[in-house]
Chains A and B, each alone.
Chain A
């Protein structure tokens, strides 16, 4: 039987603030347990939360990039539940008045661009990290109170590929905004997928299953694909889908039951009495919205228009912000953006992965790479020589100095090259004969001989052209 797949995604993303959502204690990762906390984070009686301005700023930036409308009256609510991961006995969140609502994100699919609706974006606080040992649980409240945004999509996705494309696009957008580290493997971005199947065309939704613990984009795709197969099989066999929370199991590459959901939990939400509604200054909000950093889509379009890059090259650069930023610096010097892109994507990326380094650990400067590219464009050195010089440029050396020290220059003077060509032709009558008999390999051999005589300095393109002309004369 054919089924329609319905997928919605919830993303939790830690904001990159210095301090917590409601307290002035530092946000941290990997610090000694319970050392980045104060009385507010530990829920001591009598403490009062105070909303972090930077967290609100970041939330507004995210809303704007996701084409959402921003509610300038900020309100918080209490989600009541009793568990050790939040010592107050409740989480402060925005249940009734999310700061952002009704937005969208465009993703690329095989069938073209698809618009994924975003229902809401709200601010809340993260919970403590718990370590479950054999007989007891250890709690570290360092993470408790870290600012989070939760972004809830509409159920607009229909495949593992689309789900992965959405998470990837959202991740890229938040990263370019600079509002979060978006490290899925470290948990600063977490992803829960809701998925249900229904008979094709049916208006009634099937039972929804939630998948948690998706710590990479490829696992999002794998988990969804697996889940579609699992649910189809159950329906095909006339079975029922249990309403449950599952998790992706890395070892078996399947989803497994975490817990069954029996009805929905009543969190007894009510407005947070310790935080009065906050009216944001519309001018402040406008200032944030009008000064967003360049977003990946905008940068992609600029690379294609300004530097004439193809969409493949543009995407390769965009997907690595560090490389993309470096490329822009190279382009400030290099006269040709397309050639600069080729160097960044192939030579530079190749060298980095070969050395297992990143741009930040290398001595290489963008200005030197730009200058090296110009030396090729100006025919000062050949492409082959440039690759040799590049090895030293990677170590932070000036390409002009390196080329001079190695005695490299490219001969582009017609009469000098012609003299060499005629010398080579005189020495190789057999090759001329071969050429006349249609053996094109002879040309390659002769070019090689000219290059050898010039100690690699003859301009190869010119040599090739002139040699062909001279051969025809003989």
Chain B
């Protein structure tokens, strides 16, 4: 399995998700990811012939439904904080329809 990802890879990934990783954090993620990949290799060794794939880790359904009560909103400024471009409280994006 081709799994070796370096610090630059994770820094790039973090950047695309709009946050920064410092060197220390990136190193730690590289190590964690390598461990994770080894564990997946162990799982790959399990014979799953004839076993139906599951969608959820548990088969018992839940019963929770949220009551229709207002909990919280964020301010317009907070909502727009990550937007590259905004105009009059709206997200501004390139036009893609004619």
- Main DSSP-derived SS at the A contact region: loop
Write out, one digit per residue, whether chain A residues 43-54 have a CB within 8 A of any chain B CB (1) or not (0). Answer: 001000011111
- Main DSSP-derived SS at the B contact region: loop
Which A residues are in CB contact (< 8 Å) with B22? none
Query: With an 8 A cutoff between CB atoms, is A38 at the interface?
Result: yes
- Inter-chain contact A53/B73, CB cutoff 8 Å: no
Query: With an 8 A cutoff between CB atoms, is A279 at the interface?
Result: yes
- Inter-chain contact B75/A35, CB cutoff 8 Å: yes
Query: With an 8 A cutoff between CB atoms, is A140 at the interface?
Result: yes
- Inter-chain contact A24/B90, CB cutoff 8 Å: no
Of the residues B66, B90, B95, contact of A34 by C-beta under 8 Å: B90
Of the residues A18, A133, A278, contact of B95 by C-beta under 8 Å: A133
Cα-based distance from A33 to B65 in the complex (angstroms) = 28
Segment 427-467 of A: residues with Cβ below 8 Å from B: none
Of the residues A25, A277, A281, contact of B56 by C-beta under 8 Å: A277
Cα-based distance from A55 to B95 in the complex (angstroms) = 33
Cα-based distance from A18 to B69 in the complex (angstroms) = 7
- Inter-chain contact A137/B94, CB cutoff 8 Å: yes
- Inter-chain contact B70/A26, CB cutoff 8 Å: yes
In the complex, which residue of chain A has the Cβ closest to the Cβ of B79?
A: A34
Which B residues are in CB contact (< 8 Å) with A273? 55-56
Q: Contacts A33-B90, A135-B95, A136-B92 hold; do A38 and B64 have CB atoms under 8 A apart?
A: no
Instruction: Tell me, rounded to whole Å, the shortest Cβ–Cβ distance linking A280 to chain B.
Output: 8
Q: Contacts A33-B88, A33-B90, A138-B90 hold; do A51 and B61 have CB atoms under 8 A apart?
A: no
- Number of A-B residue pairs having CB atoms within 8 Å of each other in the complex: 124
Number of interface residues of B (CB under 8 A): 34
Cα-based distance from A279 to B56 in the complex (angstroms) = 14
- Inter-chain contact A139/B73, CB cutoff 8 Å: no
- Inter-chain contact B68/A34, CB cutoff 8 Å: no
Query: With an 8 A cutoff between CB atoms, is B44 at the interface?
Result: no
Query: With an 8 A cutoff between CB atoms, is A292 at the interface?
Result: no
Cα-based distance from A24 to B75 in the complex (angstroms) = 14
Write out, one digit per residue, whether chain B residues 25-38 have a CB within 8 A of any chain A CB (1) or not (0). Answer: 00000000000000
Which A residues are in CB contact (< 8 Å) with B61? 73, 276-279
Which A residues are in CB contact (< 8 Å) with B88? 33, 138
Cα-based distance from A24 to B69 in the complex (angstroms) = 6
Which B residues are in CB contact (< 8 Å) with A45? 17
Which B residues are in CB contact (< 8 Å) with A68? none
Chain A residues within 8 Å of B, Cβ to Cβ: 17-19, 23-26, 32-39, 42, 45, 50-56, 73, 83-84, 131-141, 271, 273, 276-281
The list of the 10 closest CB pairs from A to B, nearest first, reads A24-B71, A54-B68, A138-B90, A53-B65, A279-B61, A50-B66, A139-B91, A33-B89, A277-B61, A271-B55
A-B contact pairs, 9 of them (CB 8 A): A25-B73, A37-B73, A53-B65, A56-B65, A83-B96, A133-B95, A138-B87, A139-B91, A273-B55
